[in-house]
Amino acid sequence: MDVMTAVMTRRSEQTLHSPAPGETEFAYLLRGAGTAPDHGRLRPWRWVLLRDDDRDALGDCLAEEAGADEVAAERMRAKLRRAPLVAALVFTPRESKIPEWEQMAAATCMTYSLMLLLHARGYGSIWRTGALTRSTTAGELLGLMPGERLLGSLDIGTPDPSTSSNRQPLDDVSGLMTSFADVRGRGAGRSKAA
């Protein structure tokens, strides 16, 4: 799959089944995703991979923190079983002259690159945030160090071919760009009027 096709056809996949990439394949794809723009090559991110019962442990942690009853706790566990692989994204800002916002941009660029690479290999993914990003106990369970924080997780697996993705037409975004000549012309007009 060429890059433009991957970009134009990738969508968040809600229904994911086995197989998901194994550790070796995930590391291979991450190596590619790690080439995303990253000023200073700081790699201000890391991944914690959860499979099988690991997902239930995270669900139990979130349920306990929320004070959920057993029914709600099972719903939380079920949410984390929606995909065979849950990859938690840990933002690890580095002490550097590179501002933190730029490091976060590097982490998000890398994540989107990983999603494109997964799609190109026939896998589906969806980036999830929610309670996980706000949970201190989940951070402890996942081994976060001081200064690190969870940016969410990717559910990863093989898309269900029987579920038709509701693919909306691509938006015309040409109105979201302006040539410098147009900007300069508007700015010059304002300064003359002032």
Q: What is the pLDDT of residues 59-96, one digit of tens each?
A: 999 999 999 899 999 999 999 999 999 999 999 999 99
d(CA 47, CA 27): 10
d(CA 49, CA 53): 12
Q: In this predicted structure, what is the pLDDT of residue 165?
A: 59
Band the pLDDT of 189: cuts 50, 70, 90: low
Band the pLDDT of 166: cuts 50, 70, 90: low
Angle at 17 between CA 168 and CA 20, to 5 degrees: 100
Residue range 109-156, pLDDT digits in tens: 999 999 999 999 999 999 999 889 999 999 999 999 999 999 999 999
Q: How far is CA 106 from CA 8, 17, 56, in A?
A: 22, 29, 30
State phi, psi for 58 to the nearest 5 degrees: -70, -40
Q: Which CATH number goes with the domain that contains 169?
A: 3.40.109.10
How many domains, in total, are found in the chain? 1
Can you give the residue range of the structural domain that contains 111?
3-193
For residue 99, which of 34, 33, 41, 39 has the smallest C-alpha distance? 39
